[in-house]
């Protein structure tokens, strides 16, 4: 009964989506205000239908209704409640429904928080969002129905892949999807601007908070995913240049470029055509990221199901959305008008450079990800493109971005002088040089160089603030009041750039990580990285749906106990799979990391890591995300909304 | 049929490595072991999805690790070992694709992307030339306005 309700709600959502796509767009075309005014109501209707549908899926999952095929394939009576809930978006069908849910929520958010938009623009944005909703909800109900019944229902389910039964992975997909799908809003704004043939500074101001919100979620989603692979996959790696990871990195790169471009549109009405193209491109990468991976075209550790019928449907859908919007772009982009003028050396110029480099990195990653596929299809030649390729090609493109990040905020709009901007950064350069020099004693040349870049970025980010409040040049109290009155978006920039620096420092610092694989008996001690790791004992433990072998390891330094780690090996009964549960002790500057391996004659194989600076990788992402939210809280984003100022702010955050 | 079997085998190993390498695998000389890790991390585990033989828990990866270590212990260079691997498993085994006519586009992608970006930016800039200087008529009008 509940499953049928969910199915019905999904169908209702599709009906709403079609109405929401046709009526407002038609109304905006005819200039009929009544038809345009129907957009918010329809968008909210679709969002409510999709929320009900997804709630039904969670309900059948939690109530162990194994007559629903999706639940039977991905759940089990013994699965912990948390994973029964998160399993609703962990499976293939569920994740597609979840994707549609977020897309409908985006429409609802624009309906609720976009009241200060001109009626025509709002109708078109909501209509375009609904157009894509139609396609993907049709895909959900026709090709990947999560509510499909099976007869006879099995006695129990097949359980979920134990790797996915992890709190980190439980919350990684919602964050990531909110990021992916959130870019649908800038996309819809871009398509609406193309239809209207008009784009001005106000457009930039409306688009920026949505882009920023999506960007924050995507940053968080990628960081969570990377953190998950760091502690679940059990060998201390955090980024593998795997096709799925690349698929999430691509919209992040172009989305970052879009974020910066939207600023130029807002402040200077320049780079309009380029911004529209970036908005389309970012959503195109988001779509192909989710769906090419799901279709099984790109093989990867993360692929769910491979099904040719789904693949064809998805490819057709992608072709329609991306091809259609690009066609519209080709026809209508010249209408958007000439750009504002600026000299090559200016804030705009620096942002153009940032765009070229970020997009070049995205192009390289996209080429590397799809190249094996084309080489196989066109030349029957099997080749691999792995981490060494990306390290060689991406790092030289990333280095100039890192350098420019500190300089650009200090440059003036329109026309700037490079030398004075660099002069203001003399102390930053000195700090970076010293950090690089000191690092060179502990690590090899390349990571030491990136440590210097990290210091340059972090200090450079704060140099911007110091310049703005004229610290040490005006009396201290004066500087303090300047600091308090500084718009929050400046702190957003600073935190965003500094966070990137912290992440780079973490990645560079990981080159100092040491690890050792040892075979030890209980009571024996191993020395690694100045710590004594002593295997105390081993025992059995029973979890809700697994049996575990647990080792107790005490880690001490100079006789002083630092921590006790108890890594596990878990044998999952239903899925007949063994996973290792790494245990990590962190002091935010280094991780002590222990994994338990097989046992032989009373001795256990242990893998011990001392990962210097590893936590900084994710701390940096956290700081970046905080920067984004700080910027969202800027009151200048509200001033653009004259009458309903106070209420338009939450719209910037994700619903 | 063979294809299906290969796919099945690939699926069986598609879960990333939990199996921890046997400590006995490592070479006694730390310098040689470091070199073996460096070489192994450039070689793909053939039955896994995008994992190097150093990271993988698959049996094949373990065998390849052993082979790499034997060759390192015999004093062979990285180029020699890579050649040995490519002769048996093809270029598929290299995580860093070789540079040849097929991969030229791949390796040139950073330069092409950068070139296209710069060309586009300069092209757009040329289009957005500053407006023409004021004509004498306009200058006179401006002067009149300024006087008032």
* A154-178: average pLDDT: 82
Tell me the whole-structure pTM to 2 decimals. 0.89
A235 contacts B17? CB cut-off 8 A: yes
* B128-143: average pLDDT: 76
| Same domain, yes or no: B11 and B82 | yes
pLDDT confidence tier of residue A126, bands split at 50, 70 and 90: very high
Domain assignment of residue B128, yes or no: yes
pLDDT at position A159, please? Answer: 79
* A605-625: average pLDDT: 91
pLDDT confidence tier of residue A133, bands split at 50, 70 and 90: very high
Question: Count of CB atoms within 10 A of residue A130's CB?
Answer: 28
Residue of B nearest to A241 (CA): B50
Could you give the CA distance from residue A654 to residue A212 in angstroms, rounded to a whole number?
10
pLDDT at position A398, please? Answer: 94
CB contacts, 8 Å: A385 with chain B: 95, 97, 106
pLDDT in tens, A425-461: 889 999 999 999 998 888 888 899 999 999 999 999 9
- In terms of Cβ atoms closer than 10 Å to its own Cβ (0-12, 13-18, 19+), residue A600 is exposed
**Mean pLDDT, chain A, integer:** 86
Residue A305 pLDDT > 60: no
**Mean pLDDT, chain B, integer:** 77
Could you give the CA distance from residue A651 to residue B57 in angstroms, rounded to a whole number?
47
Domain assignment of residue B110, yes or no: yes
pLDDT at position A166, please? Answer: 79
| Same domain, yes or no: B14 and B80 | yes
Range ranked top by mean pLDDT from A148-157, A407-416, A609-618, B43-52: A609-618
Is the CB of A400 inside 8 Å of chain B's CB atoms? Answer: no
The answer to whether A190 and A211 have CB atoms below 8 angstroms apart is no
Lowest mean pLDDT among A298-307, A515-524, B75-84: A298-307
Residue A229 pLDDT > 70: yes
| Same domain, yes or no: B123 and B82 | no
Q: What angle do CA B26, B49, A292 make, to 5 degrees?
A: 160
Residue A652 pLDDT > 50: no
Lowest mean pLDDT among A104-113, A217-226, A326-335, A644-653: A644-653
pLDDT confidence tier of residue A4, bands split at 50, 70 and 90: very high
| Same domain, yes or no: B88 and B110 | no
| Same domain, yes or no: B73 and B109 | no
pLDDT at position B126, please? Answer: 65
Whole-number Cα distances in Å, A287 to A179, A426, A528: 11, 44, 45
pLDDT confidence tier of residue B147, bands split at 50, 70 and 90: confident
pLDDT at position B134, please? Answer: 77
pLDDT confidence tier of residue A641, bands split at 50, 70 and 90: very low
Residue A34 pLDDT > 80: yes
Domain assignment of residue B98, yes or no: no
B50 contacts A243? CB cut-off 8 A: yes
Is the CB of A215 inside 8 Å of chain B's CB atoms? Answer: no
pLDDT in tens, A533-578: 999 989 999 888 888 999 999 999 988 899 999 999 888 877 777 8
Is the CB of A561 inside 8 Å of chain B's CB atoms? Answer: no
The residue among B69, B93, B117 that closes a domain is: B93
pLDDT in tens, A355-403: 999 999 999 999 998 888 888 888 888 888 988 899 899 999 999 999 9
Residue A333 pLDDT > 90: no
* A182-203: average pLDDT: 91
The answer to whether B17 and A233 have CB atoms below 8 angstroms apart is yes
Of B21, B97, B117, the CB nearest to A384: B97
Domain that holds residue B22: 2-93
Provide the strand spans (E) within B7-89. none
pLDDT in tens, A498-524: 999 999 999 998 888 888 888 899 988
Please count the structural domains in chain B: 2
pLDDT confidence tier of residue A636, bands split at 50, 70 and 90: low
Nearest-neighbour CA in chain B from A204: distance (Å): 20
CB contacts, 8 Å: A394 with chain B: 110
A371 contacts B106? CB cut-off 8 A: yes
pLDDT in tens, B30-75: 888 888 888 888 888 887 777 788 877 778 888 888 899 999 988 8
Domain assignment of residue B143, yes or no: yes
Residue of B nearest to A236 (CA): B55
Nearest-neighbour CA in chain B from A591: distance (Å): 19
Does residue A269 have a cis peptide bond before it, meaning omega lies within 30 degrees of 0?
A: no
A274 contacts B113? CB cut-off 8 A: no
Whole-number Cα distances in Å, A220 to A176, A214, A505: 7, 10, 18
A240 contacts B50? CB cut-off 8 A: yes
Of B44, B117, B128, the CB nearest to A386: B44
What percentage of chain A has pLDDT greater than the value 90?
A: 40
Long-range CB pairs of A551-554 (<8 Å, 24+ gap) are A551/A594, A551/A596, A551/A604, A551/A606, A553/A594, A553/A606
CB contacts, 8 Å: A414 with chain B: none
What percentage of chain B has pLDDT greater than the value 70?
A: 78
| Same domain, yes or no: B115 and B89 | no
Is the CB of A513 inside 8 Å of chain B's CB atoms? Answer: no
Residue A321 pLDDT > 80: yes
Lowest mean pLDDT among A27-41, A589-603, A626-640, B18-32: B18-32
- DSSP assignment of A433-465: HHHHHHHHHHS-HHHHHHHHHHHHHHHHHHHHH
* A200-213: average pLDDT: 88
What percentage of chain A has pLDDT greater than the value 70?
A: 93
Residue B103 pLDDT > 60: yes
What percentage of chain B has pLDDT greater than the value 90?
A: 11
pLDDT at position A123, please? Answer: 93
pLDDT confidence tier of residue B1, bands split at 50, 70 and 90: very low
A598 contacts B95? CB cut-off 8 A: no
Whole-number Cα distances in Å, B104 to A378, A380, A387, A389, A533: 15, 16, 18, 13, 49
| Same domain, yes or no: B38 and B66 | yes
pLDDT at position A296, please? Answer: 61
Q: What angle do CA A106, A628, A400 make, to 5 degrees?
A: 120
Tokens found for residue A63: 């109530």
pLDDT at position A173, please? Answer: 86
B91 contacts A364? CB cut-off 8 A: no
pLDDT at position A93, please? Answer: 86
Could you give the CA distance from residue A248 to residue A253 in angstroms, rounded to a whole number?
9
Domain assignment of residue B19, yes or no: yes
Residue of A nearest to B93 (CA): A384
Is the CB of A334 inside 8 Å of chain B's CB atoms? Answer: no
Q: Mutating which of A380, A386, A391 best tests the B interface, going by the most B Cβ atoms within 10 A?
A: A386
pLDDT confidence tier of residue A40, bands split at 50, 70 and 90: very high
pLDDT confidence tier of residue A473, bands split at 50, 70 and 90: confident
Question: Count of CB atoms within 10 A of residue A161's CB?
Answer: 17
| Same domain, yes or no: B51 and B121 | no
Nearest-neighbour CA in chain A from B148: distance (Å): 30
Of A241, A299, A393, the CB nearest to B110: A393
Provide the strand spans (E) within A138-268. none
Residue A406 pLDDT > 70: yes
| Same domain, yes or no: B108 and B88 | no
Domain assignment of residue B99, yes or no: no
Residue B6 pLDDT > 50: no
* A604-617: average pLDDT: 89
pLDDT at position A104, please? Answer: 96
Q: Mutating which of A230, A240, A274, A356 best tests the B interface, going by the most B Cβ atoms within 10 A?
A: A356
Could you give the CA distance from residue A87 to residue B114 in angstroms, rounded to a whole number?
42
| Same domain, yes or no: B81 and B112 | no
pLDDT confidence tier of residue B127, bands split at 50, 70 and 90: low
Of A379, A386, A569, the CB nearest to B52: A386
Tokens found for residue A8: 């019905």
| Same domain, yes or no: B108 and B82 | no
pLDDT at position A619, please? Answer: 94
Q: Which residue, among A59, A64, A87, A84, has the nearest Cα to A2 in the 3D structure?
A: A59
Q: Which residues of A361-381 are buried (b: 16+ CB within 10 A; e: fewer)?
A: bbbbbbbbbbbbeebeeeeeb
| Same domain, yes or no: B56 and B117 | no
Residue A237 pLDDT > 70: yes
């Amino acid at each position: 009964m509940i499953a049928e309700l969910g199915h019905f709600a999904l169908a209702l959502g599709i009906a709403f989506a079609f109405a929401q796509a046709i009526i407002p767009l038609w109304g905006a075309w005819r200039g009929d205000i009544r038809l345009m005014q129907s957009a918010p109501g329809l968008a909210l209707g679709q969002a409510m239908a999709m929320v009900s549908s997804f709630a039904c899926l969670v309900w059948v999952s939690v109530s162990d209704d194994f007559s629903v095929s999706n639940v039977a394939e991905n759940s089990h009576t013994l699965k912990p409640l948390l994973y029964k809930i998160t399993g609703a978006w962990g499976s293939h069908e569920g994740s597609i429904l979840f994707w549609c849910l977020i897309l409908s929520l985006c429409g609802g958010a624009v309906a609720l928080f976009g009241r200060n938009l001109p009626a025509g623009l709002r109708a078109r944005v909501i209509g375009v969002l609904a157009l894509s909703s139609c396609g993907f909800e049709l895909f959900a109900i026709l090709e990947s129905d999560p509510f499909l019944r099976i007869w006879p229902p099995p006695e129990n389910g097949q359980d979920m892949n134990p790797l996915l039964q992890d709190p980190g992975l439980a919350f990684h997909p919602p964050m990531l999807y909110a990021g992916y799908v959130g870019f649908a809003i800038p996309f819809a704004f871009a398509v609406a601007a193309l239809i209207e043939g008009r784009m001005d500074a106000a457009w930039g101001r409306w688009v920026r908070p949505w882009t920023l919100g999506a960007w924050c979620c995507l940053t968080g989603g990628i960081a969570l995913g990377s953190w998950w692979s760091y502690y679940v996959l059990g060998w201390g790696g955090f980024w593998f240049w795997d096709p799925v990871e690349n698929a999430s990195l691509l919209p992040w790169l172009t989305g970052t470029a879009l974020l910066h471009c939207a600023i130029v549109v807002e402040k200077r009405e320049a780079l309009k055509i380029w911004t529209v193209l970036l908005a389309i491109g970012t959503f195109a990468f988001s779509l192909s990221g989710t769906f090419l991976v799901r279709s099984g075209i790109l093989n990867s550790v993360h692929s769910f199901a491979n099904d040719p019928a789904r693949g064809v449907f998805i490819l057709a859908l992608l072709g329609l959305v991306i091809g259609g919007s690009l066609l519209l772009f080709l026809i209508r982009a010249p209408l958007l008008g000439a750009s504002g003028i600026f000299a090559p050396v200016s804030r705009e110029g620096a942002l153009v450079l940032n765009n070229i480099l970020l997009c070049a990195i995205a192009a390289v990653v996209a080429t590397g990800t799809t190249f094996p596929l084309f080489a196989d299809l066109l030349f029957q030649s099997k080749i691999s493109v792995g981490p060494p390729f990306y390290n060689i090609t991406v790092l030289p493109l990333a280095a100039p971005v890192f350098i420019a990040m500190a300089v650009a905020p200090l440059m003036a709009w329109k026309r700037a002088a490079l030398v004075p901007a660099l002069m203001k950064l003399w102390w930053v350069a000195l700090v970076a040089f010293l950090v690089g020099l000191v690092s060179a004693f502990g690590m090899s040349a390349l990571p030491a160089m990136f440590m210097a870049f990290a210091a340059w970025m972090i200090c450079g980010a704060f140099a911007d603030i110091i310049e703005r409040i004229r610290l040490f040049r005006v009396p201290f109290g004066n500087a303090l009041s300047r600091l308090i009155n500084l718009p929050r978006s400046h702190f957003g920039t600073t935190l965003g750039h500094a966070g990137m620096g912290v992440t780079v420092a973490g990645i560079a610092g990981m080159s100092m990580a040491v690890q050792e694989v040892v075979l030890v008996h209980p009571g024996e001690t191993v020395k690694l990285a100045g710590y004594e790791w002593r295997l105390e004992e081993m025992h059995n433990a029973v979890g809700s749906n697994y049996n575990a072998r647990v080792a107790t390891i005490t880690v001490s330094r100079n006789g002083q106990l630092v921590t006790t780690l108890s890594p596990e090996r878990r044998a999952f009964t239903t899925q007949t799979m063994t996973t290792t549960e790494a245990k990590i002790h962190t002091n935010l500057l280094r991780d002590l990391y222990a994994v338990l391996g097989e046992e032989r004659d009373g001795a256990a194989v242990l893998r011990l890591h001392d990962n210097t600076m590893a936590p900084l990788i994710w701390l940096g992402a956290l700081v970046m995300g905080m920067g984004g939210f700080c910027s969202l809280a800027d009151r200048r984003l509200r001033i653009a909304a004259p009458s309903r100022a106070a209420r338009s702010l939450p719209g910037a955050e994700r619903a | 049929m063979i294809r299906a079997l290969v796919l099945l085998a690939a699926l069986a190993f598609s879960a990333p490595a939990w199996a921890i390498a046997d400590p006995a695998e490592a070479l006694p000389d730390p310098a040689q072991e470091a070199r073996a890790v460096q070489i192994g991390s450039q070689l793909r585990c053939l039955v896994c999805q995008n994992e190097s033989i150093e990271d993988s828990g698959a049996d094949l990866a373990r065998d390849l690790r052993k082979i790499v270590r034997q060759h390192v212990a015999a004093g062979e260079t990285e180029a020699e070992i890579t050649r040995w691997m490519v002769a048996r498993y093809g270029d598929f085994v290299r995580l860093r694709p070789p540079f040849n006519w097929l991969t030229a586009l791949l390796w040139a992608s950073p330069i092409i992307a950068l070139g296209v970006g710069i060309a586009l930016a300069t092209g757009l800039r040329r289009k957005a030339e500053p407006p023409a200087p004021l004509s004498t008529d306009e200058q006179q009008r401006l002067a009149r306005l300024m006087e008032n």
